[in-house]
Amino acid sequence: MHINESAENYLETILILSKSHPVVRSVDVAEELGFKKSSVSVAMKNLREKEYITVSKEGFIRLTTAGREIADIIYERHELLSSWLVKLGVDKKTAADDACRIEHVISAESFEAIKKYIK
């Protein structure tokens, strides 16, 4: 399961939006990330081709099982790392920004060790 950081961010964003929106569309993703709709459309095409998402004829985006697995991993890393950094005294914005960078490069082994240590 090797996927680039950009794709991981899109999948995580779709997951987050699906928790608060009845349906997720490309325009929602573009708005959330502050990207142009055209850029998001290209990314959605790539994710669809890799079978990480499905897009209905109405334009509703859904994560496939493979896409959901990746999104869940990235989201768990983000939540745990950002909350841990806040507990260590880092302000929320910096913690969230740093967690967003770390979540994509940390190995599964290191993340599991941190998770075990924290809990």
Phi, psi for 31 (deg, rounded to 5): -65, -45
Q: What is the pLDDT of residue 1?
A: 53
Q: What is the pLDDT of residue 41?
A: 94
The pLDDT tens digits along the chain (119 residues) read 568 999 999 999 999 999 999 999 999 999 999 999 999 999 999 999 999 999 999 999 999 999 999 999 999 999 999 999 999 999 999 999 999 999 999 999 999 999 999 88
Q: Which two tokens stand for residue 79?
A: 């939540």
Q: What is the pLDDT of residue 119?
A: 84
Q: What is the pLDDT of residue 3?
A: 84
Distance of alpha carbon 8 from alpha carbon 17, whole angstroms: 14
Q: What angle do CA 113, 95, 70 make, to 5 degrees?
A: 55
Distances (CA, A) of 109 to 25, 54, 62, 113, 114: 34, 31, 29, 6, 9
Distance of alpha carbon 12 from alpha carbon 75, whole angstroms: 6
